[in-house]
Structure 1
Amino acid sequence: MSDDQRRQELGHFLRTRRLRLTPEEAGLPHAQFTRRRTKGLRREEVSALAGISLPWYTSLEQGRDINVSDQVLDSLARVLRLDADENHHLHFLANPRQYTFISKKKEPEVSSSLNFLLEQMPLCPAYITDAKMNVLAWNHLALSVFGPFGTADSRERNMIWRIFMLPSYRTMFVDWEDLAESLLGHFRVMYSQNLEDTWYSEFITEMTENSPEFSTMWENYEVRCTSKHPQAITHPQVGLLNLSTLVLPVQNGSGQFLHAFTPDLQDGSSERLAQLAEKMTVTQ
C-alpha cells in the first residue's frame, strides 16, 4: 500500500472521529460557552486531552510523514471514544507493518473443500466472498433467500452494490439502513487494507455517483472488522426470517470469508427456513 494513501486515510479517519464527538462527551462541559464554527472537538482540544502537542496532532491529521507510538494511539483512541474495531483500524493505518495481510493481486478460486462445505449446510444459507465483498460461491438455500447473484463479471455479485442498488433489498431487509451501515463498515476495512488496488477507488466513485445513501454513509466513515449485524428478512414465500450472521475468514491465504446465516430458534424462523429449503428441493 502507498504510504501517502495510508497517511491520508488516517487523517480522514481522525477528522471524522474528532468531529462526531461533542465537548460534553469528551469531558469539556465549559466548551459550550465558546463560539464554534464547526461541530465536534477542535484539534487543540484533542491534543490537550491526549497529552500531545497541537502541531504534532495537526501533522497527523494532515497526513504528514511522522512516527506514531502505540501509547499515543491508545491515548487518541481513549480521547476519541473509539470502539474495538475503530481502535484496531487506527493502529493498522498508523503502523500497518505490525499486521500481516494476504496479498490479493490475483484473486484465487474457491476451493473444492469450501464448495463441499457449503453444500453440507442445507438448512443454513451460506456464501463465500472475497476482499471486495464479491460473492464467489453459495449454496442452494442462499440463492432462495438472497436471490440470484448474476454472472461472474456483473455488479450483482457484489454485496455492497446489491444492498444499495437492488430495490428488492430495500423492502426485503427490515432494518435496511442498519444493515447497509454494517456491510459498508466491513467494506471500509477491506478498502483500507488494499489502498493500492484501483478497483476500490473506481467502485467507490461509481457507487457515490449512483447512490446518495452510499455517498452519505461513506462520508460517515463507519468501521466494522466483521459484518455481524443480524438480518431480519421479509421473504415473499415464507414470511419473516430472523437470521444471525457468522463471518469467518478462510485460513488458506485466499483473503476470502465464509458467511453463514443461522435462524432464530425461538420465533419460528428455523421452521420457516426449513419450509423454504423443502420448497426449493421440490422445484429442483
Structure 2
Amino acid sequence: MSEEQRRLEIGQFLRSRRLRLTPQSAGLQHADFTRRRTKGLRREEVAALAGISLPWYTSLEQGRDINVSDQVLDSLARVLRLNGDERKHLYLLASPSRIANNRNDDQPAVSDSLKYLLDQMPLCPAYISDGKMNVLAWNQLAASVFGSFETADSRERNMIWRMFMLPSYRTMFIGWEDLAGSLLGHFRAMYTRHIEDPWYAEFINEMTEGSTEFAAMWENYIVGCKSQHPRVIAHPRAGLLNLSTHLFPVQNSSCQFLSVFTPDLQDGSAGRLAILAEESLSKQTATV
C-alpha cells in the first residue's frame, strides 16, 4: 500500500467522523441550521474547533502530503469525539512509524503445542486465526458450532468472508448485523497495521463487489481493536447457544490469535453445547 493510499485512508476516516457529528454534540449551540446543506460538521467548523487553519485541514482530508504533529492529532481526536480504538486508528494511519516493523509475508504455521491446546478444550469451541482473520486451526467443537473448515479453501476459512457470504450465517447468528459490524471493526484495525500488504486491498475490493452489506459497513468506517462481541447462535442441532468471546494474542510475533467461546452458565447453553460436543466426539470416533 503506497503512502498516497494511506493518506487517502486518513481523509476518508476524518470525513466519516466529521459527518457523524452534529453541531450540538460538538458544542456549537448557536450554529445556523436553516442553510446547512451538509450533514454533520463542516470542515471550517472542525478546523476552528481544533485550532488549525481551514486550508491545512482541507488538505489533510483530501489526502495531500502534509506532516501531522501529535498535538494536531490530539486536537482532532478531541473535536471529532474519537473513542480509544478510533484515536489509535488515527495515530497509526497518520504515523506509519508507530507500527512495529514485524511484517512477515510467510506466516508461521500453528505450532503443535497450540493444536494440542485446542484439543484440550472439548467443551469450548476454539480456533486460531491470523491477522487477516483466516482460521488456521480449530478444535472439533468449533467446526460443529461454526461449520466445517476442513474442506474450505483459504478464502472460505476467512471469518469476514463467512460472515458476509454464507447465507447460513445470517440465519444462524442472532443479531447478525451487530456481530458483523464488530468483526469488521476488528478487521479494519488489523488492516491499518498492515496497510502496505496488497492482500487486504484485493480482499476488500472482492468483498465490496460481492456484498452490498460489506460495502455499506466498510464505507461507514467502523473501527475496533478487539473482536469480543458475544455470539448468540440459533444452532440447527443444539438450539440456542449464548457464547462469550475471549480473544488472546499468541505471544510469538506470528500475528496469530486464539479465540475461545464459553457458554452462558445460567440459560442452559452449557448443557446444550456439551450435548453437541458429545455428538461431535462420537462422530469423530466413528470415523477413526
TM-score clears 0.5: yes
Given that residues 102 and 255 in structure 1 are in contact (C-alpha distance below 8 angstroms), is that contact kept between their aligned partners in structure 2?
Answer: no
Give the structure 2 partner of residue 65 of structure 1: 65
Q: SS in structure 2 opposite 1:29?
A: coil
Q: SS in structure 2 opposite 1:33?
A: coil
Alpha-carbon distance change, 239 to 153 in structure 1, aligned in 2, over 3 angstroms: closer
The root-mean-square deviation of aligned C-alpha atoms, in Å, is 1.4
Matches for 1:174-253 after TM superposition, within 5 Å:
174-253=174-253
Give the structure 2 partner of residue 25 of structure 1: 25
1:106 Cα deviation after fit: 1.3
Given that residues 17 and 80 in structure 2 are in contact (C-alpha distance below 8 angstroms), is that contact kept between their aligned partners in structure 1?
Answer: yes
Given that residues 150 and 156 in structure 1 are in contact (C-alpha distance below 8 angstroms), is that contact kept between their aligned partners in structure 2?
Answer: no
Q: SS in structure 2 opposite 1:129?
A: strand
Over 6 Å off, 4+ runs: none
Given that residues 134 and 154 in structure 2 are in contact (C-alpha distance below 8 angstroms), is that contact kept between their aligned partners in structure 1?
Answer: no
Rounded Cα–Cα distance in structure 2 between residues aligned with 1:149 and 1:219: 29
1:101 Cα deviation after fit: 4.9
Judge which range, 186-195 or 98-107, deviates more.
98-107
1:31 Cα deviation after fit: 2.1
Rounded Cα–Cα distance in structure 2 between residues aligned with 1:245 and 1:252: 22
Rounded Cα–Cα distance in structure 1 between residues aligned with 2:4 and 2:77: 22
Alpha-carbon distance change, 252 to 226 in structure 1, aligned in 2, over 3 angstroms: same
TM-score (norm 2): 0.94
Identical pairs, percent: 72
Matches for 1:254-265 after TM superposition, within 5 Å:
254-265=254-265
Deviations 1:233-259 (A, max 9, x none): 011112111111111221111111111
Deviations 1:104-155 (A, max 9, x none): 3112211111111111111110111111111110001100100012546342
1:266 Cα deviation after fit: 1.5
Rounded Cα–Cα distance in structure 2 between residues aligned with 1:132 and 1:98: 20
Given that residues 140 and 281 in structure 2 are in contact (C-alpha distance below 8 angstroms), is that contact kept between their aligned partners in structure 1?
Answer: no
Segments of structure 1 that go 5 or more residues without pairing to the other structure are none
Segments of structure 2 that go 5 or more residues without pairing to the other structure are none
Deviations 1:147-201 (A, max 9, x none): 0125463421111110011111011000100000011111111222222222211
Give the structure 1 partner of residue 267 of structure 2: 267
TM-score (norm 1): 0.95
Q: SS in structure 1 opposite 2:30?
A: helix
Given that residues 182 and 224 in structure 2 are in contact (C-alpha distance below 8 angstroms), is that contact kept between their aligned partners in structure 1?
Answer: yes
1:72 Cα deviation after fit: 1.6
Give the structure 2 partner of residue 74 of structure 1: 74
